[in-house]
Amino acid sequence: MLRFKVVEEASNRKAVPVALPSERPEEYYGKYVFNRNKMFEYLPRDTYEALINAIDNKEPLSREVADSVAEGMKRWAIDNGARHYTHWFQPLTETTAEKHDAFIEHDGKGGVVETFSGKLLVQQEPDASSFPNGGIRNTFEARGYSAWDISSPAFIMDNTLCIPTIFISYTGESLDYKTPLLRALTAVDKAGTAVARYFDPKVKHVISNLGWEQEYFLVDEALYNARPDLAMTGRTLMGHESAKNQQLEDHYFGAIPSRVEAFMLDLEIECHKLGIPAKTRHNEVAPNQFELAPIFEETNLANDHNMLLMSVMGEVARRHNFRVLLHEKPFAGINGSGKHNNWSLGTDTGVLLFAPGKTPKDNLQFITFVANVMAAVHRHNALLKASIMSATNGHRLGANEAPPAIISIFTGSHLAEILEKIEKSDKDELIAMAGKEELHLGVSQIPEILMDSTDRNRTSPFAFTGNRFEFRAVGSSANCGSAMIALNAAMAEQLAEFKEKVDVRLEKGEDLHHALLAEIKALLQKSSAIHFDGNGYSDEWKEEAARRGLDCETNVPRIFDAYLRPETIEMFGKTGVMTPVELAARNEVKWEMYTKKIQIEARVLGDLAINHIVPVATRYLSILLDNMVKIRTLFPGNKGIELSAQDSATVEKIMHHTATIREEVDKMVDARKAANRIENEREKAIAYSETVAPCLDRVRYHIDKLELMVDNEMWPLPKYRELLFIR
């Protein structure tokens, strides 16, 4: 039987040996990246200087410089085995896109030369009409532009020079994640710098940092291929819980199986060659679940690196006969996967703005930025939830192992105490506080206290962790850009407003420290509802959060509505991050994607139920019936009925489950048909979530019951206990 064959194949598999480079990581790190060293080596001196200046000061590049960069980049790429180049971008599909072109051009003598021009480097027109665009691009304007993002270095993957680019429509609207992300980073730089200058006038830029922690599952490829649901939807649509899963808590930080360790080593080497600073690896809570985290980087670069990692992972996994599952909830009953986004702001002078410092002034700066984070997250808590939401992440949130579906901030008791003190102080107390050298907050001791005691509240979706905030609700398959756009833009709006208010006070002649403390106090008072250090999984919190006016919506398509609220439109408008047209279009894409994902799941499950499971159950049923007939023939009368009673009970149950599966699949098909007739994308997505998605659970319930009854030898699909334990 196929199932036993693939299980055997998977369990006999040995670790694939990894060819360790002879050099140390220091030597091969960034080998395939056109970083500053390579630029220096391959570009003429004046080109190099012009390019570095453009990158550092966000200035445009002239055509001549672009041509010269293209020439040097091409030489470097060819020296490193590249034959093609591509504009690498991040459309709204949550993967990356690329179209490869060879460097060759006719040489006029019947041969070819390998060339690459500034024009091709800077801008291209991919025929992009089949990327999601939410109606922005009408068919007569099917063109989209990709344009070089000089702030993220080009790299070589699979013998192709990849140039990170933004992707916009003919009319200038963003069709990707990178464009609004760059705009949000510019906005937070501008607003953040203005505030940071209260403390240090030398600050020129504020930089947003991101350190993501990527969780994932590995499954042996033979088993994966034998599960059409995994292969087509990324998750198991059926499967009874394994008797043993994560209840012994023996996987987390346990020994990594040798096959997996080989994969991780190989992956890290690839990452390092691509300049992804992969640093930490460990087992996660669920069996077969793992995590990789890099050293944090500037947000745009970190995000490119995460997108790159997700594709590299897939490739490396295949070399090791694994498949990577990035789905947020591939298996029912055990933990799902997220991607914690560790986020901070820092200055070009090297100060981390969410980190307590050594002096009272540093600490006032720290409190200033923290209070603004609380205000921004409070104001846009619904939007932040929308920014991480998707059909797949919807399974994870609100479950009892993942961030709750309500955004709140965990500060830890020490920070809470300090914030509360400011919040409760009256005017005189604030003046006294501002005048005192120690700022009378106990703030001079903050660093020591916070650094080692930011107790980890794992139930919080947004937690302060000593020198950063950890946005934990992001899904494992997501483009972090979505969360980072919302968060940085909201922060930019908030900081700009804060600055305006403080300036009004300064104009009135108030002392700077007092003006800051007074405005911090106002922010804390206004946003205190967002602060919650308790158990985010509890039912009491859900009620309490609703009373506090936090967004408690749990229906995925409705959660997306937050993007179209007046305060969201205003915020994205003021910060120049997204226009109302862009927001509307992107929501169309979100709803459409939601519908399509559920639609695919419903089709796959319908097929599996009717063509795989029901026939097998029926075969087993007929064996039982045969048996009953034989028993009753041999033992006529009551004796036979008695002896076949157990079979008879099983027969009834199996008949009940198969009949119900048939009924539920029919209902699911009808629900789909009805939903498909709806034109409006939002309404259609809601119909899918309310009428189709629940059918998936009901069909599954009956299949999982059958799995426990039907002869193990007949069951067609690998079971959880087989999928989940790599030996």
Give the binding site for ligand ADP (CB under 6 A).
Answer: 209, 211, 213, 280, 293-296, 342-344, 352, 467-468
* 211 contact choice in ligand ADP, Mg ion, none (CB below 5 to 8 Å, kind-dependent): ligand ADP
Please, what is the minimum distance in Å from the beta carbon of residue 457 to ligand ADP?
12
Binding partner of 360, given ligand ADP, Mg ion, none, CB within 5-8 angstroms per partner class: none
Out of Mg ion, ligand ADP, none, what residue 91 binds, judged by CB under 5 to 8 A for its kind, is none
Q: How far is the CB of 362 from ligand ADP (least distance, A)?
A: 15
Distance between CA 56 and CA 47 in Å, rounded? 14
Choose among Mg ion, ligand ADP, none what residue 468 binds, the Cβ cut-off being 5 to 8 Å by kind: ligand ADP
Residue 246's binding partner among Mg ion, ligand ADP, none (Cβ under 5 to 8 angstroms by kind) is: none
In the complex with ligand ADP, which residue's Cβ is closer, 61 or 276? 276
DSSP designation for 62: P
CB 462 → ligand ADP: shortest distance, Å? 13
Helix (H) or strand (E) holding 152: none
Which stretches of 102-171 are DSSP H helices?
A: 118-122
Strands 462-464, 206-220: parallel, antiparallel or unpaired by DSSP?
A: unpaired
**388-409 as b/e: b if 16+ CB within 10 A:** bbbbbbbbbbebebbbbbbbbb
d(CA 95, CA 100): 16
- Does residue 597 belong to the site contacting Mg ion (CB under 5 A)? no
Residue placing its CB nearer to ligand ADP in the complex, 300 or 342: 342
Count of residues near Mg ion by CB under 5 A: 1
Compute the distance between CA of residue 295 and CA of residue 354 in angstroms, rounded to an integer.
17
Spatial separation of the C-alpha atoms in residues 262 and 265, rounded to whole Å:
5
Instruction: Write the DSSP string, 8-22.
Output: HHHHTPPPPP----S
Q: Output the CA–CA distances (angstroms, integers) from residue 720 to 459, 669, 706, in the order listed.
A: 27, 27, 14
Single-letter residue type at 363: N
Q: Which helix (H) or strand (E) segment is 577 a member of?
A: none
Q: What residues contact residue 358 under an 8 Å CB cut-off, 6+ apart?
A: 447
Give whichever of 146 and 283 is closer to ligand ADP, judged by the CB atom: 283
Cβ closer to Mg ion: 237 or 407? 407
Between 62 and 453, name the residue whose CB sits nearer to ligand ADP.
Answer: 453
Q: Which does 344 bind (CB under 5 to 8 A by kind): Mg ion, ligand ADP, none?
A: ligand ADP
Distance (Å, whole) CA 256 – CA 197: 48
Question: Measured at CB, which residue is nearest to ligand ADP?
Answer: 211
Per CB under 5 A, does 379 bind Mg ion? no
Q: Does residue 339 bind Mg ion (CB under 5 A)?
A: no
Whole-number minimum distance, CB 552 to ligand ADP, in Å?
26
Contact segment (CB under 5 A) with Mg ion among 78-86, 188-196, 336-344, 704-712 equals 336-344
Q: Which stretch binds Mg ion (CB under 5 A): 76-84, 335-343, 502-510, 705-713?
A: 335-343
Q: Are 443 and 437 in contact (CB under 8 A)?
A: no
Q: Tell me which residue has its CB nearest to Mg ion.
A: 340
Q: Using CB distances below 5 to 8 A depending on partner kind, what does residue 467 bind out of ligand ADP, Mg ion, none?
A: ligand ADP
Structure tokens, 639: 């004796």
Quick one: 69 or 210, whose CB is closer to ligand ADP?
210
CA separation for the pair 215, 212 (Å, rounded): 10
Question: For residue 567, with 0-12 CB atoms within 10 Å meaning exposed, 13-18 middle and 19 or more buried, which class applies?
Answer: middle
CB of 559 to Mg ion, least distance (A): 24
The answer to whether residues 532 and 410 touch, using CB atoms and an 8 Å cutoff, is yes
CB of 469 to ligand ADP, least distance (A): 9
The one of ligand ADP, Mg ion, none whose footprint includes residue 209, by CB under 5 to 8 A per kind, is: ligand ADP
DSSP 3-state of 385: helix
Tell me the closest approach of the beta carbon of residue 30 to ligand ADP, in angstroms. Answer: 18
91 or 294: CB nearest ligand ADP: 294
Work out whether 340 is an interface residue with Mg ion (CB under 5 A).
yes
- 183 interface partner picked from ligand ADP, Mg ion, none, CB below 5 to 8 A per type: none
- The b/e string for 438-469 (b: 16+ C-beta within 10 A; e otherwise) is ebbbebbebbebbeeebeebebbbbbbbbbbb
Identify the sign of the CA torsion 374, 375, 376, 378.
positive
If residue 585 lies in a helix (H) or strand (E), which one and from where to where?
helix 580-607
Which residue blocks in 145-177 are alpha helix, DSSP H? Answer: none
Residue 352 contacts which entry, ligand ADP, Mg ion, none (Cβ below 5-8 A, type-dependent):
ligand ADP
Q: Is 684 in the site for Mg ion (CB under 5 A)?
A: no
Pick the closer one to ligand ADP by CB: 210 or 589.
210
- Residue 280 contact, options ligand ADP, Mg ion, none, Cβ 5-8 Å cut-off depending on partner type: ligand ADP
User: Using the rule CB under 5 A, is 719 a contact of Mg ion?
Assistant: no
What are the C-alpha distances in Å from 119 to residues 24, 139, 400, 594? 38, 25, 52, 38
Q: Which amino acid does the sequence have at 230?
A: L
CB of 467 to Mg ion, least distance (A): 13
For residues 293 and 391, which CB has a smaller minimum distance to Mg ion in the complex? Answer: 293
Residue 42 or 366 having the CB closest to ligand ADP: 366
Closest contact distance (angstroms) between CB of 294 and ligand ADP is 6
HSE, CB side, 13 Å, CA atoms: give it for residue 637: 1
Of 121, 155, 151, 164, nearest to 33 by C-alpha is 155
Under a CB-based contact definition with an 8 Å cutoff, are residues 505 and 518 in contact? Answer: yes
Q: Rule CB under 5 A: is residue 590 a binding residue for Mg ion?
A: no
For ligand ADP, give the closer residue by CB, 131 or 212.
212
User: CB of 313 within 8 A of CB of 438?
Assistant: no
Nearer CB in complex with Mg ion: 340/702:
340
Cβ closest to Mg ion, residue 212 vs residue 688: 212
Residues at the contact surface with Mg ion, assessed by CB under 5 A: 340
